[in-house]
Amino acid sequence: MKKTNNNKPQRGVTYKCVKSFTDKWGDRARKGQRLVYDGSFDFDGGVYVMKHVSGRGYNKAILSKKFTEHFIALNPVK
């Protein structure tokens, strides 16, 4: 598994959290969690909103500039 050079997540791709973080609402994303990007982006805060693959738990928001530090793609779209 290789970190992507692209700073933008791809819609429908599953990502694995490789570095834990707490988002701006206090929700914790832990190392090893699998999240999927569904296309949600908050333009005011510059954050991507990620959902759990399992469908359980709160959505996680990550700053766009920190996305590649915290996630790797498990099934990238070619």
Q: pLDDT by residue for the chain (78 residues), tens digit each?
A: 455 445 688 998 999 999 999 988 899 999 999 999 988 887 777 889 999 998 888 899 999 889 999 999 998 777
Determine contact, residues 8/17, Cβ cutoff 8 Å. Answer: no
Query: Pairing between strand 21-22 and 60-63?
Result: unpaired
Encode burial over 15-50: b for 16+ CB neighbours within 10 A, e otherwise: bbbeeebebeeeeebeeebebbbeeeeeeeeebbbb
Cβ contacts of 28 within 8 Å, gap of 6 or more: 20, 21, 22
Q: What is the pLDDT of residue 25?
A: 87
DSSP state of 26: S
Q: What residues are paired with 63 via a beta bridge?
A: 47
